[in-house]
Structure 1
């Protein structure tokens, strides 16, 4: 690739570039090699709690499968437990597992929702991703709009009040740090 664009792959600044790029893509696609059972690591707990759990502001970085360019943004994940909750740190790790793959945002959103539905069997799951795609910013239309995708399962799909509560949580600002 370096030769193709007219660069000297042997020059000082580029000599290690092929190895760096190789390591970078291994890191950015590490989600293919994550064992979901080890990711959860037994952190599903029996808890008599049945109100909505919302984790938002989860930053992620992924690669567009069409151009191998990054897209990045934030995820909001919610579920209504059916007597079982997952450890708080596991939700960002689930997002990262799917982000660290060649992706399209729509599929990633659905994969996160499906994973939680399968593992927890909650009353419902809601996932919203908002991201900027560098394939739009750097090439093609050269505009940088954000894209928002949502996946809703169970009560989030069938009960308007549940969906409205989830969306209200998303509209609230982030807490002070």
Structure 2
């Protein structure tokens, strides 16, 4: 009689911690494939420890043609091209052709519903490296005031006067003890809340883009985001998760948080904020794919309106391989849930 476990079932022939595809006991194990994966990993590590290379300048971001041997090895080139050019429908078509017994079995397959086409709203990024990255009217004047203190002070006084008017309109006395100095304090706070208007993507990123032979997911989760709803001028706060698949270049991890900070410190809507971060990273790195997910709570629907305190808004933007390949997208989302 065969031994059985406590549930009356036969014990598994392969322990659960060994069924990851790399155990010699696993039916799909291939010594040749395992050796090839190890060789690729070693090549990638060795390439990153080679001759010293300077960080990439934003002027050199655009790649013309195939990468040079100094940038990556042959196996990494092949891997990157597969990520960019092969979608889920292509993989399923190949599998069906291999298993086909009749010519009729090779009819074109319907693309899976989980794959998405390119969004017309993200097909043409509008990042202006020389400007202020999606600037609004008047931001250049605000930027110039850094070198003209008298103009900056005049702007602050104008904003303070507007706050004083608001206090009077709601029935308050701006001159009472508790509100003495509040217009000036609020004016300074508002300038800080919107400091992203004065920041430039080039200045934030330059000097922190590096050569690296890595073609797997890079994810930074739980980036705190504080922004102002442009419809009611009240805050919305939450977490942003950013991931990308490099194509021979990576960016300093803190820069991902700084990019999110730059765009959030403006009057925003969450949908646009999510896209702006994804498009900016796509322009800077030219990666195989980018994914940005944001979860936040909006005080405009918590403190007023429907007053639903437990409501959370989630938005996402997927570009490149993250949008084309459902399996890659699912890998990213599953890692966020861990």
Report TM bin, short chain.
Answer: over 0.9
* TM-score of the superposed pair, with normalisation by structure 2: 0.50
Task: Report how far residue 12 of structure 1 moved.
Answer: 1.3
Tell me the alpha carbon deviations over residues 93-121 of structure 1, each in whole angstroms, 9 at most, x when there is no partner: 00000110000000000000000000000
Task: Report how far residue 41 of structure 1 moved.
Answer: 2.9
For 1:70, the equivalent position in structure 2 comes to 235
For 2:183, the equivalent position in structure 1 comes to 18
Q: Any unmatched runs of 5+ in structure 2?
A: 1-165
**Largest Rg, 1 or 2:** 2
Task: Report how far residue 35 of structure 1 moved.
Answer: 1.5
Aligned mate of 1:155, from 314, 321, 331: 321
For 1:138, the equivalent position in structure 2 comes to 303
Task: Report how far residue 6 of structure 1 moved.
Answer: 1.5
For 1:54, the equivalent position in structure 2 comes to 219
* TM-score of the superposed pair, with normalisation by structure 1: 0.96
For 1:99, the equivalent position in structure 2 comes to 264
Q: Which has the higher strand share?
A: 1
For 1:79, the equivalent position in structure 2 comes to 244
Structure of higher RCO (CA pairs closer than 8 Å, 6+ residues apart): 1
Aligned mate of 2:336, from 159, 170, 176: 170
Kindly tell me the number of residue pairs found equivalent between the two proteins. Answer: 172
CA distance in 2, matches of 1:68, 1:3: 18
1:136 aligns to what SS in structure 2? coil
Q: Which runs of 4+ in 1 moved over 6 A?
A: none
Q: Which has the higher helix share?
A: 2
CA distance in 2, matches of 1:33, 1:5: 31
Q: C-alpha root-mean-square deviation of aligned residues, in Å?
A: 0.6
